[in-house]
Chain A
Amino acid sequence: KAGVTQTPRYLIKTRGQQVTLSCSPISGHRSVSWYQQTPGQGLQFLFEYFSETQRNKGNFPGRFSGRQFSNSRSEMNVSTLELGDSALYLCASSEETGFSSYEQYFGPGTRLTVT
């Protein structure tokens, strides 16, 4: 099975702009979670989508949003970018079958740099 894919891998944006990141989960996985990783804060949970619905949300401002499509692919959007949004954004997918729902498999990430 192909792994989780994320596009683009690298992105440079200017403060105030907005950005959309894309994630394709492992085939058959219906849950997609997004994380922000920075040297100072580590891996922080943004939100989780399942069956096109946001099921969980972390403690991030409303500038961070996402959605999931019927084929389980997900997008994440950040509006009005700030310098502090520079980070590696990781997407993870998981099955929804008993205990394995917490075995999340990560993509390679999108490195976002805000200047």
Chain B
Amino acid sequence: GQQLNQSPQSMFIQEGEDVSMNCTSSSIFNTWLWYKQDPGEGPVLLIALYKAGELTSNGRLTAQFGITRKDSFLNISASIPSDVGIYFCAGQNTDKLIFGTGTRLQVFP
């Protein structure tokens, strides 16, 4: 099945550091969503983006809808241990959401 390319695949950072990850596609999307998934749980919606160039924040999280509409970025500032998990992007194409391959984040104290 189709998946979007996310990078990096995994990150190991120290508490307090900032984190950046991105998602790219060969297709244009009208909506970008970012989710976080903890082990054994379903993904939790973090941020939704609806307009090219849009920059949206949710606490320490900031996401951007790329100008080309083929990419999106997520930044986490001043990481804390509870940021550990897998982050997924999702793009809306026609009537479906297509998910990225995920970025696994580990935060060390």
Contact = CB atoms under 8 A, between A and B. Distances in A.
A8 B3 CA distance: 27
Pick from A55, A59, A109 the residue with the most CB of B within 10 Å: A109
Contacts of B43: 43, 90, 106
29 contacts: A4-B42, A33-B97, A42-B3, A42-B99, A42-B101, A43-B3, A43-B88, A44-B1, A45-B1, A45-B97, A45-B98, A48-B96, A55-B95, A56-B96, A90-B42, A99-B31, A99-B50, A100-B48, A102-B33, A102-B48, A102-B92, A104-B33, A104-B45, A104-B97, A106-B35, A106-B45, A107-B42, A108-B41, A111-B40
Pick from A45, A58, A102 the residue with the most CB of B within 10 Å: A102
A102 to B, nearest CB: 5
B96 A45 contact: yes
B102 interface: yes
Interface of B: 1, 3, 31, 33, 35, 40-45, 48, 50, 88, 92, 95-102
Contact of A102 (B1, B44, B97, B100): B97
B63 to A, nearest CB: 13
B41 A58 contact: no
Contacts of A70: none
Nearest to B94: A56
Nearest to B100: A42
